[in-house]
Structure 1
Amino acid sequence: MQMIRRWFSKLSFLPLFLGLAACQAEPPQSSGQTAPLAAEALTIPDDPDPALWVVKDEDTTIYLFGTIHILKPGLSWFDEAVKDAFDESEELVVEMIQPEPAEMVRTVNDLAIDKTGISLRDKLSAEERAKYEAAMTSLNLPVDSFDPFEPWFASVSMSLIPLMESGYTTGSGVEDALTSHAKAQNMKVVGLETPEQQLGFFDNLPEDVQIRFLNFNVETISEMPAGMENMIAHWSNANIGALAELMNAGLEDKIVYDTLLSGRNANWAKWVEDRMKEPGTVFMAVGAGHLAGQDSLQEQLKKRNITVKRVKY
């Protein structure tokens, strides 16, 4: 349990979990085919130029910027049009404002720990359990590490470990950097969701869906670093189509896709619509997966007759 308590202290893990999950949640396909999670690693430029969009009327401007929740140190993405738009803004909007450690522990205890007392591994078939235990061993974790938890928590935790081992740090993520800049400039910071809501997205999934999600991550755990490298490369080069294709690779469960991606985009589109009724300039930063694909935030805004334009730079 000591290892698990250390996980609780990583406050920036929550939006990352949702980002990883969204990257693996694709729209249902009639063919039943899924795209591979990872392909041959692409090159990440030292000076990324991620895509930026804007929504505006006569007295309100909202910039839309796709983030990567976890990065390796050293990428200089906060410059040019991105920095200009940020500096122009009076308000930063992110998926979630990080809570205090004690609050995060309480939330995880409430939602991630299985109250039935049934071990996670006892919920798996013999074949699933063998593969799960092999994956845990490959991560140098005791096979019983996540036994007290619900399947979704084991799944997203396992996804994070190989990335951390590959040199990624949550402290280098885009949200952390933007929040630090916002505090330095005395900007207002707003969260679209609460920690309880974000954990609740997973916690409310049916258990059989959680187990399928876990099994998928077990099968693809070794591909996670290469998949992340490709995601960051596409993000860095503003390759929106390729990013959408990669983000849509993975699970086919409609309930997961709707819960973690399309449903949240619809909620955020309503937030943007309401915010446009008030004057001011806003920098809205959400996971890059939400700004790519057929059910992206931009597409949801179009349904509300709100024009979204790409910022060229």
Structure 2
Amino acid sequence: MKNFYLLLTSFIFVISSGIAQDSLSTSLLWEITGKKVKQPSYIFGTMHLIPEDDFLFPESLQNKVKESDLLVMEIGGITEQMKAMHLMMLDSGSMFDYFTEPQLDSLFAYTDAELGYDEKQMRTMFSKMKPFVLLQLFTKEAFGTNPQSYEMSLQKIAQKNDLEIIGLETVEEQMSFIDNLSQEDQVNMIMESIRSEDIDFSETKELIEIYLSQDINAIHKYTVSASISSPEFEASFLNERNKNWIAPIKKLIKKNKTFIAVGAAHLGGPKGVVELLRNEGYTLTPIKL
């Protein structure tokens, strides 16, 4: 399961305005200027879940959102998020039909011991859902009892300040990535996560350390080296989506002071959003976090 938590979802910082920015080469927060942009916009790399004790959300970052005209995320607000539950449901049959008997024994033993859900509870709660849902359940547990979400925090600020929330893609488009994974692949990923020792937070700690390095190229490299990754995975989950986001970003930042928040893995690399915007003629400046 190495690196998988970063992909889910789409991380931590303290902004300091007193340090010169021209010596900074990378950051999780980037200012977008140039090419007829009337006022600066910002793009920020998130970590979709983070342990509560590590969650730092300084007032200076909150003000970047409050002072914007729009909040732009991978998908839009509550309405889009509510669609996700329906899209996680199977058309027919049971999730557990895809597991062998030995796999089911291991799965139910794990959820009973680690999550407190026995076989009856698991079948009641999850039978009609796609196997991938269990990975989300395991991910949440790996980040502690009360994991925090930057996306939810940003959304609350936007709602409180009457900012429009816009998605770069629909939840249907985002969920299509999961649907491109076979049920067998999803089951194998679940069993790997159960067997792996990274569920004990060692991989989570490593992930957070890499995120805190604020090196977006290192974050990208870490992501694409995941055990579930492949050239096809990188092309569809990262590169293709990054490319698709550029046109709407260009349109939004032309007339609006926009705060954009996407998973940090999307920022770095030669085909990351930062480099793609630079190729379009914009100036991307890292802001010290």
Is the contact made by 2:41 and 2:258 (CA closer than 8 Å) also made in structure 1? yes
Partner of 1:246: 222
2:21 matched to which residue of 1? none
CA shift, 1:173, in A, is 1.7
Contact 1:55 1:61 in 2 (8 A): yes
Question: Does the Cα contact within 8 Å between 1:94 and 1:192 map onto a contact in 2?
Answer: yes
Partner of 1:301: 277
Structure 2 unpaired stretches of 5+: 17-26
The one of 17, 21, 33 equivalent to 1:56 is 33
Deviation at 1:189, TM superposition (A): 1.8
Q: Which deviates more from structure 2 when the two are superposed, residues 187-196 or residues 234-243?
A: 234-243
Cα deviation for residue 284 of structure 1 reads 0.3
Deviation at 1:47, TM superposition (A): 4.6
2:108 maps to 1:120: no
Structure 2 counterpart of 1:201: 177
Do the aligned partners of residues 159 and 288 (structure 1) sit closer, same or farther apart at CA in structure 2, a change above 3 Å counting?
Answer: same
1:64 counterpart SS class: strand
Which whole-Å deviations, capped at 9, do the CAs of 1:14-69 have from their partners, x for residues lacking one?
Answer: xxxxx836269xxxxxxxxxxxxxxxxxxx98957762112222325331101122
Give per-residue Cα distances to partners, 1:183-240, cap 9 Å, x unaligned. Answer: 3333222122333333333134333333333333333374363333333333334243
What corresponds to 1:155 in structure 2? 135
Matches within 5 A, 1:158-169: 158-163=138-143, 166-169=144-147
Offset of residue 282 of structure 1: 0.7
Question: After superposition, where does 1:5-24 map in structure 2 within 5 Å?
Answer: 20=5, 22=7
Alignment equivalent of 1:68, drawn from 44, 47, 64: 47
Distance 2:250 2:192 in 1: 36
Which residue number in structure 2 is paired with residue 284 of structure 1? 260
What letter corresponds to residue 166 of structure 2 in structure 1?
V
1:107 positional shift: 4.8
Change (3 A) 1:188 1:98: closer
Gaps of 5+ in 1: 1-18, 25-43
> Taking structure 2 as the reference length, what is the TM-score of the superposition?
0.74
Which residue in the other structure is 1:14 paired with? Answer: none
* CA root-mean-square deviation: 3.4
Tell me the distance in 2 between the aligned counterparts of 1:215 and 1:299. 36
Pick aligned residue for 1:275 from 228, 247, 252:
252
CA distance in 2, matches of 1:213, 1:253: 14
Q: Which amino acid aligns with 2:214?
A: A
Distance 1:126 1:99, change over 3 A: same
SS state at 2:32 partner: strand
1:253-279 Cα distance to aligned partner (Å, 9 max, x none): 444433433222222123223334x32
Quick one: which of 110, 113, 116 aligns to 1:135?
A: 110
Report if aligned partners of 2:65, 2:157 keep a CA contact under 8 Å in 1. no
What's the % identity of the aligned pairs?
21
Instruction: Confirm or deny that 1:230 pairs with 2:206.
Output: yes
Give the match's secondary structure for 1:310.
Answer: strand
